């Protein structure tokens, strides 16, 4: 059976090193399978987060050969196996141990977002076309790869001023919900730092759910912020005619 | 003296943050209780997230003739009448309100042309009944509940595992656990506890379940003196992926068949015509799983030992819209474009009908102060669960458990924590590190999954079950001598060592119950007793702890009131 050489980060927030493991490669095998093999036979204490192993829960995010990926969806046969496969933790979050990072900051950002607020007197009828637009955003599995790759967070560490692509997607889902009556533009501008995003689309590129984060969520939200804060006429018209 | 630990106090402690746990927490919060939710993973990653097909609820948005009565009848028929009738009735009556509630909290279901919630056909349901969001209904549900709970202010203890329930006399008064991240111990004091920990699929080799599914809640309840019910009934979903090896067991939603997908064998025959000529591909899961298994065993299986499931006769755009995750799953993991050709599928361990015995109205177990809801509880599904009835189960009985737990907490005083119980629980966890030598928990786990797969699987017989039981006892013995390497800092080997103990307790209960039920019914198929026996149809099996031994007893099923009996007789 073919073999692959993996170099996996072992260590804590204080430091660590890449450790080599030889793993047999089976047809259709994914990187997470290789990590499980290491746990089962070579290093039982290798720390890895995972749940569904089906690309539905977004737990097993890591960097494979430097690329942010879900390890459960990264096939070994898609990687050049004549070279070592390097698996390291997401860079934008503090390492707890090995491939497990501290993503609790994301949960703190989420708490700032005002919930779905149905307009009074709604009859709960919605058309599929209106729902489609929002369902794209609701596909998000919270793997936080978009957060990991966003340079505002990854390179500049602006976790206090900036919410990150994941939460722009979440706000877009609420703002564009056909029956929602709340406005979150002030939050976007003042607390989630939407202005820091200069639409480089790195987030869109790594999204395993193929959500068009930049085009369909961030840019329309930026337009709404501009309308609300810098174009009083547009804001008035939307107040009168609705905007959903 | 006990190793150091931190202590937290809540009126209601919910163990598990899937659909049932979150719904319980929301209800308890709404009643003014302080609520703590403990979960082994990050919030929003529980197994509910993988549910695909939909939530069964007789909304009658698509088929106007549907009603709770037909839903009740379908559920009882699917479970071969072993169900707790009162749970089946409550479930059918309350499910539509629970779905509407989700919509009011922000969930966005697929729509009918009139703008209502769309419903699809599913196995064993007489009408189009499953409210859905493409094939990612579970994700929509968990995100909606998660956001609702966060907004209402529940306290979530993420990546924290409970290893023991604490009792003050007969009553549960808290729990002991550890933080997975740092390995530190934690004690919760609570007036009521709700178990919502899901099932036991990780004890089988081919499974659709995630690592969390290690039977924790069933074992915790059993250890605390609660009764387990219907443990012989383990559902094998007929359609899991069979190729490539790494994805074996991964779920292929029943919605594929609900949307018109057809099963064929290697010879191109629609073999379901032989097993259930009336319902065909949309027969109940027990029947379809056995049919595929039999086709393969008799030499009519596909290249990799499964059946073909084909939806490619539908327009490609339709398939991608209604089954997007299936489309991507097969394209990315198996190089198969399901809009162009068939999938290969075979049975995979999926769901536990059995579990902790609960009261239908309050979801309270036989131990005061302890409630259970969702897959960890038993009764609603009888000997076989219908697809779609799980998500509705989580909502209906999650809510009832949370409500009753909050009310009970109002009446109860805080129990006193017993240091001896805490010390025993923490010492047990540390002992894994203290042995100079011992086996790895991974090797024992591999042997357990092989044993359950080969000897306590889809088809069973006395000889296999006896051998399985003997093997489980041997593994229990070896699991008591496991040694863990490394530190307490996020150490999966350590976590598995403890989860293994729970899996072995629950596996023993499954094997014992399966050995005792000398008939075939629903998901329990005995090759040595291939027929259903009316005598066995009148009783459930109950497992409980007597000292250190497992006790098994028969219980007559509750008598059906005459109006419901008449309902079941209708149209049969």
Which residues, in sequence order, are CB contacts of A61 under 8 Å at separation 6+? Answer: A49, A68, A69, A70, A71, A90, A143, A144, A145, A148
Which of B 257-276 lie inside 8 A of A, CB atoms?
A: none
Helix axes B19-30, B389-411, angle to 10 degrees: 40
The answer to whether the CB of A136 falls within 8 A of the CB of A73 is no
* Inter-chain residue contact A96 with B181, CB threshold 8 Å: yes
Q: How far apart (Å, rounded) are the C-alpha atoms in residues A218 and A223? A: 9
Relative orientation angle of helices B137-152 and A104-111, to the nearest 10 degrees: 70
Closest CA to B200 of B229, B252, B235: B235
Average pLDDT on B478-490 reads 95
- The pLDDT value given to residue B245: 87
Least CB-CB distance to A45: which of B109, B158, B486? B486
Six-digit token string for A115: 């919930």
Please confirm whether the linkage preceding B527 is cis (ω < 30° from 0): no
With CB atoms and an 8 Å threshold, state whether A131 touches B251.
no
Chain A residues near residue B249 by CB distance under 8 angstroms = none
pLDDT score recorded for residue A243: 56
Q: Could you tell me if A105 lies within 8 Å of chain B, comparing CB atoms?
A: no
Confidence of residue B343 (pLDDT cuts 50, 70, 90): very high
Q: How confident is the model at residue B414 (pLDDT cuts 50, 70, 90)?
A: confident
DSSP state of B283: S
* A230, pLDDT greater than 90: no
Looking at residue A232, its pLDDT comes to 77
The angle subtended at Cα A208 by Cα A207 and Cα A214, nearest 5°, is 20
- In chain B, the percentage of residues whose pLDDT exceeds 70 is 99
Task: Give the mean pLDDT of B246-267.
Answer: 94
pLDDT at B570: 85
Integer Cα distance of B193 and B371 in angstroms = 6
Please report the pLDDT score of residue A242 as a whole number.
Answer: 64
**Confidence at A239, pLDDT banded by 50, 70, 90:** confident
Q: What pLDDT digit, counting tens, does each position of B171-202 carry?
A: 999 999 999 999 999 999 999 999 999 999 99
Work out the average pLDDT over B471-498.
Answer: 96
When computed from its CA atoms, the radius of gyration of chain A, rounded to whole angstroms, is 21
Q: Are A126 and A199 in contact (CB under 8 A)?
A: no
What sign does the dihedral B109-B112-B116-B117 (CA atoms) show? negative
pLDDT at B159: 98
User: In this structure, what token pair is assigned to residue A180?
Assistant: 């929602």
pLDDT digits (tens, 9 = 90+) for A2-51: 999 999 999 999 999 999 999 999 999 999 999 999 999 999 999 999 99
Predicted pLDDT of residue B1: 65
Q: How far is CA A138 from CA A126, A224, B286, B481, B496, in A?
A: 16, 20, 33, 46, 33
Question: What is the distance between the alpha carbons of residues B194 and B404, in angstroms, rounded to a whole number?
Answer: 10
Q: How confident is the model at residue B17 (pLDDT cuts 50, 70, 90)?
A: very high
Q: What are the chain B neighbours of A33 within 8 Å (beta carbons)? A: 246
Burial label for B280, CB within 10 Å (0-12, 13-18, 19+), is: middle
Nearest to B24 by CA among B182, B140, B199, B193: B193
* Whole-angstrom distance, CA of residue A183 vs CA of residue A214: 20
Of B42, B50, B147, Cβ closest to residue A56? B50
Question: Nearest by CB to A39, which of B139, B332, B492?
Answer: B492
pLDDT on residue A233: 81
Is the CB of B491 less than 8 angstroms away from the CB of A45? yes
Helix B216-223 vs helix B492-516: crossing angle, to nearest 10: 70
Q: Is A14 on the interface with B (CB under 8 A)?
A: no
- Average confidence score pLDDT of chain B: 96
Closest approach of B113 to chain A, Cα-based (Å): 7
- Report how far Cα B236 is from the mean position of its chain's Cα atoms: 11
How far is residue B434 from each of residues A124, B409, B483, measured CA to CA in Å?
60, 39, 8
Alpha-carbon dihedral sign for residues B369, B191, B391, B200: negative
Quick one: closest CA in A to B487, which residue?
A: A45
CB contact under 8 A, A98 and B490: yes
Reported pTM: 0.96
Give me the interface pTM, i.e. the ipTM. Answer: 0.95
Q: What is the pLDDT of residue B430?
A: 97
Task: Check residue B572 and give its pLDDT.
Answer: 56
Q: How confident is the model at residue A237 (pLDDT cuts 50, 70, 90)?
A: confident
Percent of chain A with pLDDT over 90: 92
């Amino acid at each position: 059976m073919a073999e692959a050489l993996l170099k996996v980060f072992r260590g804590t927030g204080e430091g660590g090193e890449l450790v080599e493991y030889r793993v047999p490669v089976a047809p259709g095998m994914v990187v997470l399978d290789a990590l499980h093999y290491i746990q089962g036979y070579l290093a039982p204490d290798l720390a890895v987060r995972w749940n569904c192993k089906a690309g539905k829960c977004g737990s097993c995010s890591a960097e494979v050969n430097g690329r942010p990926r879900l390890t459960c969806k990264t096939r070994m046969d898609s990687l050049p196996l004549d070279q070592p496969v390097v698996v390291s933790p997401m860079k934008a979050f503090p390492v707890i141990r090995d491939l497990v990072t501290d993503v609790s900051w994301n949960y703190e950002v989420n708490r700032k977002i005002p919930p779905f607020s149905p307009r009074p007197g709604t009859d709960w009828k919605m058309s599929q076309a209106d729902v489609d637009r929002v369902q794209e955003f609701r596909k998000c599995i919270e793997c936080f790869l978009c957060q990991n790759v966003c340079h505002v967070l990854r390179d500049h560490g602006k976790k206090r001023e900036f919410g990150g692509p994941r939460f722009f997607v979440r706000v877009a889902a609420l703002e564009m919900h056909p029956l929602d009556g709340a406005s979150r533009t002030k939050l976007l501008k003042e607390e989630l730092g939407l202005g820091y995003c200069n639409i480089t689309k790195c987030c869109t590129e790594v999204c395993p759910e193929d959500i068009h984060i930049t085009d369909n969520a961030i840019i329309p939200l930026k337009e709404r912020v501009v309308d609300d804060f810098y174009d009083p006429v547009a804001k008035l018209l939307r107040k009168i005619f609705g905007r959903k | 003296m006990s190793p150091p630990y931190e202590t937290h106090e809540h009126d209601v402690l919910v163990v598990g943050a899937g659909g049932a746990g979150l719904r319980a927490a929301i209800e308890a919060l709404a009643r003014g209780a302080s609520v703590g939710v403990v979960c082994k993973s990050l919030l929003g990653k529980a197994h509910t997230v993988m549910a695909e097909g939909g939530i069964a609820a007789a909304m009658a948005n698509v088929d106007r003739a549907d009603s709770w009565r037909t839903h009740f009848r379908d559920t009882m028929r699917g479970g071969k009448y072993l169900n707790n009738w009162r749970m089946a009735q409550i479930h059918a009556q309350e499910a539509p309100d629970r779905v509407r509630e989700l919509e009011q909290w922000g969930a966005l279901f697929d729509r009918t042309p009139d703008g209502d919630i769309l419903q699809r056909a599913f196995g064993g349901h007489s009408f189009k009944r499953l409210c859905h969001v493409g094939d990612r209904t579970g994700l929509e549900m968990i995100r909606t509940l998660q956001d609702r709970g966060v907004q209402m202010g529940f306290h979530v203890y993420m990546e924290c595992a409970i290893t023991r329930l604490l009792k003050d006399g007969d009553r549960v008064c808290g729990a002991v656990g550890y933080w997975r991240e740092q390995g530190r111990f934690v004690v919760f004091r609570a007036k009521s506890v709700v178990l919502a920990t899901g099932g036991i699929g990780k004890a089988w080799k081919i499974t659709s379940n995630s690592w969390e599914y290690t039977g924790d809640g069933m074992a915790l309840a059993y250890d605390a003196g609660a009764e387990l019910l219907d443990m012989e009934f383990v559902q094998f979903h007929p359609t899991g992926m069979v190729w490539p090896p790494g994805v074996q067991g991964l779920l292929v939603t029943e919605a594929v068949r609900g949307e018109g997908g057809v099963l064929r064998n290697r010879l191109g025959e629609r073999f379901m015509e032989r097993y259930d000529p009336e319902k065909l591909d949309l027969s109940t899961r027990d029947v379809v799983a056995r049919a595929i298994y039999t086709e393969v065993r008799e030499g009519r299986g596909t290249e990799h030992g499964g059946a073909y499931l084909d939806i490619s006769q539908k327009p490609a755009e339709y398939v991608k819209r209604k089954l997007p995750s299936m489309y991507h799953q097969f394209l990315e993991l198996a190089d198969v474009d399901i809009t162009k050709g068939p999938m290969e599928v075979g049975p995979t361990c999926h769901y536990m009908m059995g579990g902790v015995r609960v009261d239908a109205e309050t979801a309270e177990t036989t131990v005061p102060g302890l409630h259970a809801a969702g897959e960890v509880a038993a009764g609603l599904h009888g000997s076989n669960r219908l697809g779609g009835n799980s998500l509705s189960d989580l909502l209906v009985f999650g809510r009832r458990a949370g409500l009753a737990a909050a009310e009970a907490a109002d009446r109860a005083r805080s129990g006193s924590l017993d240091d001896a119980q805490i010390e025993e629980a923490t010492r047990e966890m540390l002992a894994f590190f203290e042995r100079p030598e011992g086996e790895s928990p991974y090797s024992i786990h591999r042997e357990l999954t092989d044993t359950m797969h080969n000897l306590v699987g889809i088809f069973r017989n006395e000889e296999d079950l006896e051998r399985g039981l003997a093997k489980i006892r041997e593994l229990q013995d070896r699991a008591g001598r496991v040694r863990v390497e490394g530190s307490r800092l996020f150490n999966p080997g350590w976590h598995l060592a403890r989860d293994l103990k729970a899996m072995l307790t629950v596996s023993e209960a499954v094997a014992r119950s399966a050995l005792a039920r000398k008939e075939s019914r629903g998901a329990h198929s005995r090759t040595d007793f291939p027929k259903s026996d009316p005598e066995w149809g009148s009783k459930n099996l109950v497992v409980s702890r007597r000292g250190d031994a497992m006790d098994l007893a028969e219980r007559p099923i509750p008598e059906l009131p005459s109006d419901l009996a008449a309902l079941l007789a209708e149209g049969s």
